Amino acid sequence: MMKLLLLPLLLLAALIPARSAELELYCTTDLHGHADRLAALGGALRQGGDAVLRVDVGDTAQGTLLSQFSGGRIMIESLNALNFDCWIPGNHDFELGFDRFRTLAESFRGATLGGEWRWNGLSGIPWKLFRKNGVSTAVIGLSDPKMPRRMLPADGSRFDAPYTALERIMPEIRAAAPDVVILFWHNGLYSSVGSMGSFLRRFPEIDLVVGGHSHQEHPGERAGHVHFVQTGRFAEAAGRIRITLDDRTRRILRIDSELLRPGPLPDPEVAAAQRPFRSGFDRYASEQVITFPEPVEFPAETIWDHPFSRLAADAYRAATGADAAFFAMYRPQSEPFRRLDRAGLFQLLPYESRLCTIRLGHEQLRQFLEEQAGLARKWNQLPAFSGISLTFTAKREPRLAAAPGQLTLAVTDYTLVSSATLRALLDRPETGWRIFPVIERDAVEQYLKARRAGAPE
């Protein structure tokens, strides 16, 4: 009789759905200083209250004049107003310089994650365990895998390879035995470490990756064994992810994700947090730098020695006292203009690149010139030298017109670390390279203001 009763009970239990637990999280990446759009995303990001995780995956503060005017604080305080739990700095956040970076990290009320970096005694938190809605979640943060090649040796920074960092972190996470493991990585599906899916085969415990850096939108897809999400750029979208687990076995049953768009109105609390940083901004942005007697136009193709590029290279020399200077800019999407204000100058030079100098011999300078000529063609740039004369072949390839024995060349810190020619010289004392506490945009602004009566040819 007992067996006859047990069989229907077992059949009934099989028909009753298993109880489930759910983790919900919201994410942003590559906001690049777009404070207005972030405020408009506020309504979407506030959903779920305190029961959800909110994480930003970097390149947060650099990219707009308003954010630069606030030292990046307008973006961090916006994240604070939205109760973000974690911030993973991206490569452009490190470019702000250590003092400003430290201020942003200390201003953020959540956890500044970074499993692979240390900078002048400051280090990111490698990972953190959260319990939200009854689900224990290990959250790991990693920045751009190319960071070891983006920072100068004198900056006091150290970046481990992503594999090295994860190998160090994962034993601690295994010991904690969380229900879910999420990697927030300022990195796209394909990068210097290869494909995301192939790389993560070494770390089967990771269930979800939220990426960044490449500015692509991925509402949700498989990358090897993990679910991958990326929210694009410029606060054009935020990500909402729901992870459903079996409440008994704690196995993940499914992961659902989607992209959310900004609403028509700003979130009131975010707008209030941003308001102090907007005071005086309109006057600052509209301040005149120079008025040219003739309109300045930018060509559709790569050309050397564009008048504005020459002026910028001259500004490098004036700020550093170097014998020569090299300047290159991406070709702006700009209408012809005569009046240049500070907002317009920022559009031309949006990066926080410091000026540097390095001593080069003739052969080193020739190699640098050939390297930069190739990059200018590849990236449709407008390069120029100051203090160096060039000739051009029938195919418009630049050549040194003279043969200086040795000179001091001014470039940006970005050029110094990204140029294969120059980076190979940084460990040679005879190059005497040094960093100046001057941002290239500020150097150009000061130079143009000093010669308001002048103009490019």
For Cα atoms 121, 122, 128, give the angle at the middle one, nearest 5 degrees. 135
- Decide if pLDDT at 344 tops 60: yes
- Judge whether residue 50 has pLDDT over 70: yes
Q: Which residues contact 297 (CB under 8 A, 6 or more apart)?
A: 336
Number of alpha helices (DSSP H) and beta strands (DSSP E) in the chain: 17, 26
Tokens of 87: 């911030």
Dist. CA 212–CA 100, nearest whole Å: 22
The mean per-residue pLDDT over the stretch 279-293 comes to: 96
Domains and CATH numbers, the chain: 18-278 (3.60.21.10), 287-450 (3.90.780.10)
Contact 155, 179 (CB under 8 A): no
Across the range 21-30, mean pLDDT stands at 97
Q: Which residues are CB-neighbours of 325 under 8 A, at least 6 positions away?
A: 313, 314, 316, 317, 385, 386, 387, 409, 410, 411
The partner residues of 405 in beta bridges, in order of sequence, read none
pLDDT at 403: 66
User: Across residues 418-447, what is the average pLDDT?
Assistant: 96
Cβ proximity of 113 and 87 under 8 Å: yes
Q: How confident is the model at residue 58 (pLDDT cuts 50, 70, 90)?
A: very high
Kindly indicate the confidence band of residue 283, based on its pLDDT and cuts at 50, 70 and 90: very high
Residue 451 scores a pLDDT above 90: no
Return the pLDDT at 4.
Answer: 46
Return d(Cα 325, Cα 81) in angstroms, integer: 44
Residue 238 pLDDT > 60, yes or no? yes
Residue 18's pLDDT is what?
56
Quick one: tokens of 203? 């770390």
With left for phi above 0 and alpha for psi between -120 and 50, is residue 280 left, alpha or beta? left
Q: What percent of the chain has pLDDT over 70?
A: 95
> What confidence category does residue 396 fall into, taking pLDDT thresholds of 50, 70 and 90?
confident
CA 169 to chain centre: 23
Beta strands per DSSP E along 232-271: 238-246, 252-260
| Cβ atoms within 10 Å of 41's Cβ, excluding its own | 28
Position of tokens 């136009």? Answer: 297
pLDDT band at 202 (very low <50, low <70, confident <90, very high): very high
Residues 33, 445: Cα–Cα separation, whole Å: 21
**How much is the mean pLDDT over the chain?**
93
Helix-helix angle 73-81:98-107, to 10 degrees: 20
Query: How far apart (Å, rounded) are the C-alpha atoms in residues 7 and 1?
Result: 10
3-class state of residue 147 by DSSP: helix
Q: Where are the beta strands (DSSP E) in 125-249?
A: 127-132, 135-142, 157-159, 180-185, 190-191, 194-195, 208-210, 217-223, 226-231, 238-246
Q: Kindly write down the DSSP assignment for every residue of 169-199, as one continuous string.
A: HHHHHHHH--SEEEEEES--SEETTEEHHHH
Q: What is the mean pLDDT of residues 366-379?
A: 96
Nearest to 190 by CA among 180, 200, 182, 181: 200
Mean pLDDT value across residues 179-201: 96
The predicted-structure confidence for 148-187, as pLDDT tens digits, reads as follows 999 998 889 999 999 999 999 999 999 999 999 999 999 9
